[in-house]
Amino acid sequence: MKSLLLATAAIAAFAAAPAMAQDGPVGSVGINYGNTEVDFGGLGGEADTWAVDGVVAMPAFGDWTVTVAANASQFDDGSDDTAFAGAAHLTTVVGSDLRIGGFVGAADVADETALTGGFEVQKYLSKATLTGVVAYTTADDVDLDVWSVGGDAAFYVTEDLRLNAGLSWMTIDDADVDGVTYGVGAEYEIANSPFSVTAGLSHSDIEDVDVDSWTIGLRYSFGGGLQARDRAGAALPGSGVMGILGAL
More confident call, 77 vs 26 = 26
**How large is the average pLDDT for residues 86-92?**
95
More confident call, 32 vs 1 = 32
pLDDT of residue 58: 94
Identify residue 193 by its one-letter amino acid code.
Answer: S
Q: Which CATH superfamily is domain 2-247 in?
A: Autotransporter beta-domain (2.40.128.130)
pLDDT in tens, 151-180: 999 999 999 999 999 999 998 877 778 889
**Domain regions of the chain by residue span:** 2-247
* % of the chain beyond a pLDDT of 90: 56
pTM above 0.85, yes or no: no
pLDDT of residue 108: 83
pLDDT of residue 176: 77
Average pLDDT value for the chain: 83
**How large is the average pLDDT for residues 220-238?**
90
**How large is the average pLDDT for residues 49-57?**
94
CB 102, CB 90: distance < 8 Å: yes
Identify residue 12 by its one-letter amino acid code.
Answer: A
pLDDT in tens, 109-135: 666 788 999 999 999 999 999 999 999
